[in-house]
Amino acid sequence: MLGQGKAPDPRFTLANERTFLAWIRTALALLGGAIAIETFAAHAWDTSGRLAMELALLATSLLVSLGAGWRWLAVERALRREAPLPLPRLVPLLSVACGLACVALVGVLWARWHGG
């Protein structure tokens, strides 16, 4: 699974694991957000808007979870081969997702404040 190469310094392996766990915490927070919307926001949004936000959060959570695993594996392989570390693909995904969430929330609040 990890391929050929020598075992890296344990500090680097443990740092890679901590980064993986941080991404997993992010994915769990996104999952919790979807659950919170379903549980507490029934009166705030119509069904289709609520469902869209929940599905977006769930999809982002899934992508972050999968990306965290792939990133951990890619970094571990690079450490063993003493190769350059791969660029993170999760950062642009999460940046775009957070930006879209902010735009959606501003739209919802704008409509609510201005009688839409």
Instruction: Enumerate the domain spans of the chain.
Output: 10-113
Q: How much of the chain exceeds pLDDT 70, in percent?
A: 98
Whether residue 116 is predicted with pLDDT greater than 70 in this model: the reply is no
Closest CA to 60 of 36, 35, 88, 96: 96
Report the predicted TM-score, pTM, of the whole model to 2 decimal places. Answer: 0.82
The phi-psi region of residue 82 (left if phi > 0; otherwise alpha if psi is between -120 and 50; otherwise beta) is left
Average pLDDT rounded to a whole number, residues 7-26 = 95
Assign 97 a pLDDT band (cuts: 50, 70, 90): confident
Q: In whole angstroms, what is the distance from residue 96 CA to residue 74 CA?
A: 23
Q: Judge whether residue 112 has pLDDT over 90.
A: no
% of the chain surpassing 90 pLDDT: 58
